[in-house]
Amino acid sequence: MSNTSNAALGLGQSPALASGFQFPSIHNFPPFYTLQPTASTWKNQADLWSTIVIRYYRHHRLYLLDLDDSTITNEQLFNNLRINRKLKPETIQAIVDEMVKKGDAEWDATSKKRRAIIYWRKPEDWAAMISSWVFESGLNNSILTYYEIAHGDNSEDQEFYNIHPTVLQKSMDILVKRGVAATFQGANFEEMGVKFFRAGA
């Protein structure tokens, strides 16, 4: 991942994870795990972290970052066993705060900044992706459930397969606002229905 100028900075490259993900070598930089008190330095650091978090989440198709879930904080993303450094939950929170400011993440309103959705794609992108998929597969003018979109047999090869319900809802809201689709109330979230009217958005 690191290009030549980064390699010149002299940090060792970690081996790729089992999932095939490769951290950039800045991930082995000890100060990367300390919240920098200098504003300009911290901005650079937070930018680097958000890039790595988004890459990691996209690679592993993850959506939710929960600070109360110890598996998240102990994950290799935030815990570098090689240099024995680990991000503190407060620092992760600060990083997510920065990501929220840029629109790369959103706090779950009820969680008091403990849970966040990481937008490795923007809701607008998801909306466009879903609607184009619907029209391409000729599913417009019929009602689809949310379950069919996220977990249906037809969408299995799509990037939004297993999409997080909150992200899906956000994307649908965007489509409804544009007048591309209409939602129908169901018994539960997965039985919510959506009908697409015409192509394009």
- Under the binding rule (CB under 8 A), the answer on residue 40 touching another protein is yes
Q: State the number of binding residues for another protein (CB under 8 A).
A: 29
- Under the binding rule (CB under 8 A), the answer on residue 3 touching another protein is yes
Q: Which of 20, 37, 138, 200 binds another protein (CB under 8 A)?
A: 37
Structure tokens that stand for 62 in this block: 């993850």
Nearer Cβ to another protein (47/173): 47
- Under the binding rule (CB under 8 A), the answer on residue 103 touching another protein is no
| Strand bridging mode 181-184 / 193-196 | antiparallel
Q: If you compute the radius of gyration of the chain from its CA atoms, what whole number of angstroms results?
A: 19
Nearest residue to 116 (alpha-carbon basis) of 91, 96, 95:
96
Enumerate residues 6+ apart whose C-beta is below 8 A from 45.
Answer: 31, 32, 35, 36
Give the span between the Cα atoms of 183 and 85, in whole angstroms. Answer: 47
Q: Which of 47, 108, 124, 173 binds another protein (CB under 8 A)?
A: 47
List interacting residues with another protein (CB under 8 A): 3, 5-6, 9-12, 24, 26, 28-34, 36-38, 40-41, 44-45, 47-48, 51, 83-85
